[in-house]
Amino acid sequence: MSYINGVSIEGASLTKMLSDKLYAISGEGIFRRTKDLLDIYIMSYISEYRAKDVIEIWNHTERIPGDFSVFKNEKGRIRDAYIKMKGIENKPDFDEMYERVSCFILPFCEIEDIADVIWQKAEWRQ
Protein backbone atom coordinates (compact mmCIF):
# COMPACT_ATOMS: atom_id res chain seq x y z
CA MET A 1 0.00 0.00 0.00
CA SER A 2 1.24 3.44 -0.80
CA TYR A 3 0.42 6.47 1.25
CA ILE A 4 1.11 10.19 1.19
CA ASN A 5 4.69 11.31 0.48
CA GLY A 6 5.78 7.91 -0.78
CA VAL A 7 5.50 6.16 2.56
CA SER A 8 4.56 2.52 2.08
CA ILE A 9 3.69 -0.29 4.43
CA GLU A 10 3.95 -3.95 3.58
CA GLY A 11 1.76 -6.46 5.34
CA ALA A 12 -1.22 -8.70 5.02
CA SER A 13 -3.89 -7.76 2.53
CA LEU A 14 -7.39 -6.92 3.69
CA THR A 15 -8.56 -10.20 2.19
CA LYS A 16 -5.98 -12.16 4.21
CA MET A 17 -6.97 -10.35 7.41
CA LEU A 18 -10.61 -11.00 6.61
CA SER A 19 -9.95 -14.70 5.98
CA ASP A 20 -8.28 -14.96 9.42
CA LYS A 21 -11.19 -13.24 11.15
CA LEU A 22 -13.79 -15.36 9.39
CA TYR A 23 -11.85 -18.48 10.35
CA ALA A 24 -11.78 -17.30 13.97
CA ILE A 25 -15.58 -16.89 14.18
CA SER A 26 -16.43 -20.05 12.25
CA GLY A 27 -16.47 -22.34 15.27
CA GLU A 28 -16.65 -22.53 19.07
CA GLY A 29 -13.93 -19.89 19.51
CA ILE A 30 -16.37 -17.17 18.54
CA PHE A 31 -17.17 -16.37 22.17
CA ARG A 32 -13.54 -15.38 22.75
CA ARG A 33 -13.35 -13.57 19.41
CA THR A 34 -16.28 -11.13 19.45
CA LYS A 35 -13.85 -8.35 18.51
CA ASP A 36 -13.41 -10.19 15.21
CA LEU A 37 -17.16 -9.84 14.60
CA LEU A 38 -16.81 -6.10 15.00
CA ASP A 39 -13.75 -6.08 12.73
CA ILE A 40 -15.63 -8.00 10.02
CA TYR A 41 -18.52 -5.56 10.34
CA ILE A 42 -16.15 -2.61 9.84
CA MET A 43 -14.19 -4.30 7.05
CA SER A 44 -17.42 -4.95 5.16
CA TYR A 45 -17.77 -1.19 4.73
CA ILE A 46 -14.27 -0.36 3.52
CA SER A 47 -13.59 -2.65 0.60
CA GLU A 48 -14.89 -5.12 -1.93
CA TYR A 49 -14.07 -8.80 -1.45
CA ARG A 50 -14.22 -11.77 -3.77
CA ALA A 51 -15.47 -14.84 -1.90
CA LYS A 52 -13.28 -17.21 -3.92
CA ASP A 53 -10.17 -15.22 -2.89
CA VAL A 54 -10.96 -15.91 0.76
CA ILE A 55 -11.47 -19.61 0.04
CA GLU A 56 -8.18 -19.69 -1.87
CA ILE A 57 -6.35 -18.28 1.16
CA TRP A 58 -7.93 -20.92 3.43
CA ASN A 59 -6.89 -23.66 1.01
CA HIS A 60 -3.37 -22.28 0.70
CA THR A 61 -2.90 -22.00 4.47
CA GLU A 62 -4.75 -25.29 5.07
CA ARG A 63 -6.94 -23.53 7.63
CA ILE A 64 -10.39 -24.75 6.70
CA PRO A 65 -13.07 -22.97 8.72
CA GLY A 66 -15.90 -24.47 10.70
CA ASP A 67 -19.48 -24.35 9.47
CA PHE A 68 -20.51 -21.15 11.34
CA SER A 69 -23.21 -23.14 13.15
CA VAL A 70 -22.32 -21.55 16.49
CA PHE A 71 -22.67 -18.10 14.93
CA LYS A 72 -26.04 -19.05 13.45
CA ASN A 73 -27.44 -20.87 16.50
CA GLU A 74 -26.05 -19.07 19.54
CA LYS A 75 -27.06 -15.46 18.93
CA GLY A 76 -27.99 -14.87 22.58
CA ARG A 77 -24.64 -16.07 23.91
CA ILE A 78 -22.80 -14.08 21.25
CA ARG A 79 -24.81 -10.99 22.24
CA ASP A 80 -23.75 -11.47 25.88
CA ALA A 81 -20.07 -11.74 24.88
CA TYR A 82 -20.38 -8.69 22.59
CA ILE A 83 -21.92 -6.60 25.34
CA LYS A 84 -19.09 -7.59 27.72
CA MET A 85 -16.36 -6.40 25.32
CA LYS A 86 -14.32 -3.71 27.03
CA GLY A 87 -12.28 -0.83 25.68
CA ILE A 88 -14.34 -0.15 22.55
CA GLU A 89 -16.20 3.12 22.24
CA ASN A 90 -19.20 3.69 20.01
CA LYS A 91 -19.54 0.09 18.91
CA PRO A 92 -22.61 -0.51 16.76
CA ASP A 93 -25.81 -1.95 18.14
CA PHE A 94 -25.47 -5.73 18.38
CA ASP A 95 -28.47 -6.51 16.16
CA GLU A 96 -27.20 -4.18 13.42
CA MET A 97 -23.73 -5.73 13.56
CA TYR A 98 -25.08 -9.30 13.70
CA GLU A 99 -27.40 -8.78 10.73
CA ARG A 100 -24.64 -7.38 8.52
CA VAL A 101 -22.13 -10.07 9.50
CA SER A 102 -24.82 -12.73 8.94
CA CYS A 103 -25.26 -11.49 5.40
CA PHE A 104 -21.50 -11.30 4.91
CA ILE A 105 -20.76 -14.89 5.96
CA LEU A 106 -23.46 -16.49 3.77
CA PRO A 107 -21.18 -17.65 0.94
CA PHE A 108 -18.72 -19.14 3.43
CA CYS A 109 -21.28 -21.36 5.13
CA GLU A 110 -21.33 -23.74 2.13
CA ILE A 111 -17.83 -23.45 0.72
CA GLU A 112 -18.18 -26.57 -1.41
CA ASP A 113 -20.81 -24.83 -3.53
CA ILE A 114 -19.45 -21.30 -3.38
CA ALA A 115 -20.37 -19.04 -6.24
CA ASP A 116 -18.00 -16.52 -7.76
CA VAL A 117 -19.46 -13.55 -5.93
CA ILE A 118 -18.09 -10.16 -4.91
CA TRP A 119 -19.09 -8.22 -1.80
CA GLN A 120 -20.03 -4.70 -2.84
CA LYS A 121 -21.32 -2.18 -0.30
CA ALA A 122 -23.89 -4.34 1.50
CA GLU A 123 -24.45 -7.46 -0.57
CA TRP A 124 -22.88 -10.26 -2.58
CA ARG A 125 -23.15 -9.82 -6.35
CA GLN A 126 -22.27 -12.01 -9.32
Segment 45-65, tens digit of pLDDT: 999 999 999 999 999 999 989
Q: What percent of the chain has pLDDT over 70?
A: 89
- Is residue 41 one of the residues assigned to a domain? yes
Name the residue with higher pLDDT: 112 or 89.
89
Residue 53 is which amino acid? D
Confidence of residue 9 (pLDDT cuts 50, 70, 90): low
CA-angle at 92, arms to 89 and 96, nearest 5°: 170
The answer to whether residue 3 is domain-embedded is no
Residue 2 belongs to some domain of the structure = no
Report the side by side order of strands in the sheet with 118-120. 49-50, 118-120, 123-125
The answer to whether residue 5 is domain-embedded is no
Residue 51 lies in a domain: yes
Is 1 within a domain? no
Range of the domain at 96: 12-125
Domains in the chain, number: 1
Q: Is 7 inside any structural domain? A: no
Instruction: Give tens-digit pLDDT for 104-116.
Output: 999 998 776 677 8
- Is position 62 within any domain? yes
